[in-house]
Structure 1
């Protein structure tokens, strides 16, 4: 397992990814900006964009593999990949809870939930688009900014723009993440 983790470059990339995530969440937690939109002119929290570098690092780790050797091997790498993704997302949730408790703001608490939702989207897309699926969470963010607000109120389908205490957003994040892990089983077995 240690060789698998080193082959994935997890020992270098993941600590850096979590550090970038935590620092960015701490710095941007309550900052809002006025962004152009097709519907209204919403003030969008910059913390919505914080999970993107984490997801990019995670995709780099998942894609740094030898597909033919892993498919023909005796051990299934799918369990290890799913464990790795789950551990990274759990660490992101813990980072966001820690930053939220230090600063006492709800915006930081959404960082982990949003990382879970966007990672799930990426994993679902990875099953059919491969490494290009790293752009799906970015596309979701752009869509949310362009048409996801009614005035300054986020629409329910946006999930990531909803407040930290929103039960629907938490449930949707868990469901999308679970579907992403299931899709990961299929994409980890592909050789091309």
Structure 2
């Protein structure tokens, strides 16, 4: 356990979550005029969409650290530890989101935790298919894609965009939890496949 904590650089994840909290508190209900392909000119995009990225990237970086060769001898325990830290990160993200919504009187912040679950799932799935760097890029690319084509001409979010949906949207939460769970489960299968191939 101690070696795992050192190898995974958990303090970096704490920094990522702190940045996420800072961005969420600073952003509140603020929007930025960004280019969009679904309406004429620029449109107001909630800055809260970008809040989860530091924490998600930090989590992936932590999972990528360590020695795969050494972990192969205890892959089951390592995968479980990794899954625990993923779940705890999600719980902390949800707590920060709801806390920010109350602190800043910004209901949109309630969606920040849900969005972190979804983006973490996207990054974990991409990491399973390719590697951690591609995973982080996939999460960033998703946010950019949503800002460009995730809203219709009336600035209503499409369901597939997920992170642009209202905080209490049932479909958004269901898709986020599904993606998050899938990513966490794939983590274990990735560890096993590495062990077998090694």
TM over 0.5: yes
Q: Deviations over 1:14-58 (max 9, x none)?
A: 221111111110000211112111111432101100111111111
Q: Are the equivalent residues in 2 in contact too, given 1:42–1:149 (CA < 8 A)?
A: no
Q: Which one is further off, 74-83 or 43-52?
A: 74-83
Q: Which residue in the other structure is 2:77 paired with?
A: 76
Alpha-carbon shift at residue 75 of structure 1 (Å)? 5.2
SS of the equivalent of 1:43 reads: strand
Q: Which residue in the other structure is 1:184 paired with?
A: 187
Q: How many residues align?
A: 191
Q: Are the equivalent residues in 2 in contact too, given 1:93–1:112 (CA < 8 A)?
A: yes
Displaced runs of 4 or more, over 3 A: none
SS of the equivalent of 1:165 reads: coil
Q: Distance in 2 between matches of 1:56 and 1:89?
A: 13
Q: Distance in 1 between matches of 2:138 and 2:26?
A: 25
Q: Distance in 2 between matches of 1:96 and 1:187?
A: 30
**2:112 matched to 1:111?**
yes
Q: Which residue in the other structure is 1:4 paired with?
A: 4
Q: Which residue in the other structure is 2:151 paired with?
A: 149
Alpha-carbon shift at residue 74 of structure 1 (Å)? 6.9
Show structure 2 runs of 5+ residues with no match.
Answer: none
Q: Distance in 1 between matches of 2:99 and 2:83?
A: 24
**2:27 matched to 1:28?**
yes
